[in-house]
Structure 1
Amino acid sequence: MIPSKKFSGYAGAICLLVAAFIACNGKASEKESLPLDTPVTIERFDRELPTYVQEGDTAASARFRERYAPFFPIYCRQILGLGDAPDFREGLNLFLTHEAIAQLYTDTESRFAGDSVWTTDLQQAFARYHEQFPQSTLPRILTHVSGLNQSIVTIDSLLSISLDCYLGADYPLYAQRYYDYERGLHESNRIAFDAVEVWLRTAYPYQSKRNALLDRMVYEGKILYALTSLFPDVDIYRLLGYTDSQAQWCRDNEAEIWHQVVARKHLFNTESMLINKYVEPATFVAVLHAESPGRLGRWIGYQIVSRYARDKKKSAAEMLGTTDDAGEILAESKYNG
């Protein structure tokens, strides 16, 4: 975490802000669909912000704020915690000149100066998204520097990526901010996965009347099934951030994993703490097995959903378009580990 208290995290400050692995609660606002050949552009808000802070032309400053509405005030208030100022310049200047932030800004610009792989991956994934989800909204995409706060921010039909959260597992400041098991999820090659995943969760939020582990696993399986469709050259284990040995453990122990979940009566358990142990990042699933990789519940959900979708010939859009049907999907999939 950045040492200055003034610019430390505000993770709970607003429900619009989400880490890459946490579901958003609101749907994207309605907007006319764009044609498939319309490119998804990526605007570098982070590169333009320092110029705004030093800008002496009042009209030019106003144009900047207008161009980046509604993101700009939310960035200043909720992400950076700068209070409620007319133009936020004083607070932004303090932020940008803070020693740790200045270094973070320099390192981010250096790391992403010539890296276009993630932008291509992101654009191609959203082109597939628009094709496979024809009623969908394509987001306006920005990039920003958050001081290692939220990785991805969504506001209506806008999505912004905090590039300083993707400087690589070995980036020095990450040892202060992330657990060891999380650091591998902060490589630049995961930007596209995370951004599209958050957008899917925003457009198709988790809904369940019962809210049991099975319901959450099936929802996670639907998200992963959609991601495999939008990233057809990427396997499920890479999407989950698993190592080769973790992937092999899952394959070798699939039947026993399922047996243990059922035998321990976890499948219909509604305790949020237990559910989180199955689906959130962790060293291992503490309620299951010391060698099990974190987020194993997501992997189980994918096995169930992918089998059901394949047998029923259901698309990703069709799967995400139905809710509160986990029991039916499990029964029809005939999944038994």
Structure 2
Amino acid sequence: MKTFYSIAIVLILMLSSCKKERTWEVDASGVKVDLVIHDISKRFFNDSIPLDKLKKDYPFFFDNSSDSIWSAQRKDPFEVNIYNESVKQFGDFEKLNQELIPVFQKYKHYFPEYETPKVFTYSSGLQSLDYPVIYSAQDKLMFIAMDGFLGEKHKLYDSMRVEQYLRRNMYAERVPSAVVGAIAENIVTYSPRQQKFIDVILYEGKKLMLQDILLTDTPDEYKIGYTPQQMAWAVSNEGNIWNYFVEQNYVFSDDRTLEKRFINVAPFSKFNNEIEQNSPGRIGAWIGWQIIRKYLQENPEVKLQDLLLDMDSQKILQASKYKPEIDGASTTKYNTKKKEGVDELYHYAE
């Protein structure tokens, strides 16, 4: 089923998403954050700095490769070119610094137990495109691979045959969202023992909720990496997507292939029917995000830290009262026929 939206409708959707985000608006400008961005690669590709000093200053940056390999890499024209192209995007880091300071101010406001990390940028030689931001709350270190944000049309991505659906998020403006995503990976509770589909989508939803909290003025499509058209499709088909998950007995399923179909980054989500190529990837994560938003709306007394620690997915689902409309009708109509294996869901839906 194809759905087409005018620019006006897309703008309305964006405005409505901004309205949801206002509940997280706080004045954190008074929170002290000492953020200095250290460009490791600037020093790495400077021949006047001895390798031994670099290894002493940045021990976490070097593995057990021989000095001859590192010395050759410092002079490799391809590696140097990648770094130079990265610098064209980021310049002197002043803009990036100003974008990240408010993020870390809000982070420290809501999570004072975590210290502001030391932030290091580097050129990965196009080896960190899948995970361009790495953060360790324990070590208080964050690494940003600049070459993961060169712009979707950059020729270096042509050489690596990077798929278009990945490229649309590979530009410098996406760094704040990628930073929040890395933070979320650290502070949202994850349990390998609780991996039913509902557990997975709510885990993803909690991580996306942190985008709401730390990036209050950012449109939703930037947070999840959708185009405005994909966001419009997701909003329009929310009830149909949830109904599909219910009717296929997916909600409480422990089938791990569902993550590949509906959670992983992909050109589209795999419904195995005619609508799937109109859908954006990660639609399960998007549904989990809406459930968490609805849960917080219905339960405003819940503390943020408690939600991040709460692993009772069925309780969260039930307390959210999540029932998106299907083509204008309430999803309470989906339980007209009880299906084997979804007793808990039908009990919740009644």
The correspondence for 1:172, drawn from 155, 159, 163, is 155
Aligned-partner Cα distance in 2 for 1:138–1:277: 36
The residue type paired with residue 327 of structure 1 is Q
The residue type paired with residue 158 of structure 1 is L
Alignment of 1:165-314 (within 5 A): 165-175=148-158, 176-287=160-271, 289-313=276-300, 314=302
The correspondence for 2:56, drawn from 59, 62, 66, is 66
The correspondence for 1:332, drawn from 313, 319, 323, is 319
Q: For residues 120-175 of structure 1, what are the alpha-carbon distances to aligned partners after superposition, in whole Å with 9 as ceiling and x for unaligned?
A: 22121011000011212321110011111221233532111000111000011213
Q: Structure 1 pair 111/235, CA: closer, same or farther in 2 (3 Å)?
A: closer
Once structures 1 and 2 are overlaid, which stretch shifts more, 162-171 or 116-125?
Answer: 116-125
Q: For residues 254-313 of structure 1, what are the alpha-carbon distances to aligned partners after superposition, in whole Å with 9 as ceiling and x for unaligned?
A: 111110111111112222222222111111111362211001111101100011112211
TM-score, reference length from structure 2: 0.76
Aligned-partner Cα distance in 1 for 2:183–2:55: 24
Question: Over aligned residues, Cα RMSD in angstroms?
Answer: 2.0
The correspondence for 2:49, drawn from 52, 55, 58, is 55
Once structures 1 and 2 are overlaid, which stretch shifts more, 196-205 or 228-237?
Answer: 196-205
Q: Which runs of 4+ in 1 moved over 4 A?
A: none
Deviation (angstroms), 1:248: 0.9
Contact 2:33 2:104 in 1 (8 A): no
Aligned-partner Cα distance in 1 for 2:285–2:269: 11
Aligned-partner Cα distance in 1 for 2:104–2:290: 24
Is 2:159 the partner of 1:159? no
Is 2:82 the partner of 1:95? no
Is 2:121 the partner of 1:140? no
The residue type paired with residue 246 of structure 2 is V
Alignment of 1:69-148 (within 5 A): 69=59, 71-73=60-62, 77=63, 83-85=64-66, 88=67, 90-114=68-92, 116-148=94-126
Gaps in structure 2 of 5+ consecutive residues: 1-29, 325-350
Q: For residues 49-77 of structure 1, what are the alpha-carbon distances to aligned partners after superposition, in whole Å with 9 as ceiling and x for unaligned?
A: 122x5435xxxx555433323x222xxx2
Contact 2:89 2:172 in 1 (8 A): no
Aligned-partner Cα distance in 2 for 1:92–1:205: 38
Aligned-partner Cα distance in 2 for 1:137–1:216: 28
Greater C-alpha radius of gyration: 2
Contact 1:207 1:323 in 2 (8 A): no
Higher relative contact order (CA 8 A, sep 6+): 1
The sequence identity of aligned pairs, in percent, is: 25
Q: Structure 1 pair 42/315, CA: closer, same or farther in 2 (3 Å)?
A: farther
